[in-house]
Structure 1
Amino acid sequence: MPLLHPGDTFPQLTLNIPGAQAIQVPDSFAGEFGVVLFNRGAWCPYCTAQLRAFQRAGDSLAQVGVRVAALWVDDEKTTADFTARHGLTFPLGHSADARAIARLTGAFVNEDPLYLQSTGFVLDPQGKVIVSV
């Protein structure tokens, strides 16, 4: 499947959150604009920098009605440790099925080792894609 394009409806994805109840995106954005980030993993310096930048921008994003959620293939413990170490306050989902996510969204998958390549979507309040990168 090609990467979702502007105007496409973003599929329902379940994000397993360490130590918390799983959430559904885009439903968890509650009618606000949303950013969904797929990241390679805790080992990736680019992904760490990106997630930290979104954390730093969190207050500004919230003021304009934008919510953020991210996911990757890393396990629950790695994700919990990363979230705590970097003080993330937005949901970071663990143990994503990279191939299933790719089928639904068109995200690129690295096969060996298996992970999602960095991909991002901005969604409107109705869950439609505005931007995909």
Structure 2
Amino acid sequence: MKKLLFIFLATLTWAANAQNMIAKSATDIAPLLIGEKIPNLTLKSSDNTDVQISDLLKKKKTVLVFYRGGWCPYCNMHLQALAEAEKQVLDLGYQIIAVSPDSAENLKMTAEKDKVKYTLLSDSKGELIKAMGIAFEAPENYKSVINVNSKGMNTSFLPVPSVFVVNPQSDILFEYVSPDFKHRITTELLVSVLKNLK
């Protein structure tokens, strides 16, 4: 009986820690699943103030986006597409929040460049990205660019680009996680999902 209890506790501990680990590659991640909760962690806003993610999520239903950084052309195209669809998203009763490892200062440049009015948050330490189970070890050729864009806070990881639809209780209702950073959910599909979740 003691042996079974030990195995159970060891497995439980491993599962909890697995979410905070950095996967070796984008295809090795273990993201949180539909029905699980977004962990309440502190991120930085574009004006460098601390923000509790749960405080933002409880305001209304949320489209929570994780992107690699303002330096990534695929991320910029995705952020711009979301900006163009924002009115539709808002009309359906949702807000958009996008999180990256970029520093708070770099968020402002991304917002201006991509004409973004929705909330951008910095997770330079990767605490939320790791807790979401979407962090993976950055290829060597990306390490200098992520170091510069995170102001030295991140030298080793990237998030797999992901979109989570979350209710005000922080429960995940839908997710789109693509290990291939070139593939993102289309705004048409996202809006269709939001309509069906209403």
Normalising TM by the smaller chain, what interval?
Answer: 0.7 to 0.9
> Is the CA contact (8 Å cut-off) linking 1:31 and 1:126 kept in structure 2?
no
Measure how far apart 1:89 and its partner are. Answer: 1.0
Structure 2 segments unaligned to the other structure (5+ residues)? 1-18, 20-29, 144-155, 178-198
Higher Rg: 2
**Which of 163, 183, 190 is the aligned partner of 1:120?**
163
Contact 1:110/1:117 (8 A) holds in 2: no
Deviating above 6 A after TM superposition, structure 1's stretches of 4 or more consecutive aligned residues are none
| Equivalent residues, number | 132
* CA root-mean-square deviation: 1.9
Which residues in structure 2 correspond to 1:1-133 (within 5 Å)?
1=19, 2-19=30-47, 21-98=49-126, 100-111=127-138, 112=140, 113=143, 114=156, 115-132=158-175, 133=177
Q: For structure 1, which segment, 32-41 or 16-25, has the greater mean C-alpha deviation from structure 2 after superposition?
A: 16-25
Q: Percent identity?
A: 23
Give 5+ residue unaligned stretches, structure 1.
none
Q: Counterpart of 2:112 in 1: which secondary structure?
A: helix
TM-score, normalising length: structure 1:
0.85
**Which has the larger share of helix?**
2
Task: Kindly indicate whether the alpha-carbon contact (under 8 Å) linking 1:15 and 1:94 is maintained by their aligned counterparts in 2.
Answer: yes
Q: Which has the higher contact order (CA 8 A, sep 6+)?
A: 1
TM-score by structure 2 length?
Answer: 0.60
Deviations 1:35-58 (A, max 9, x none): 111111112111111111111111
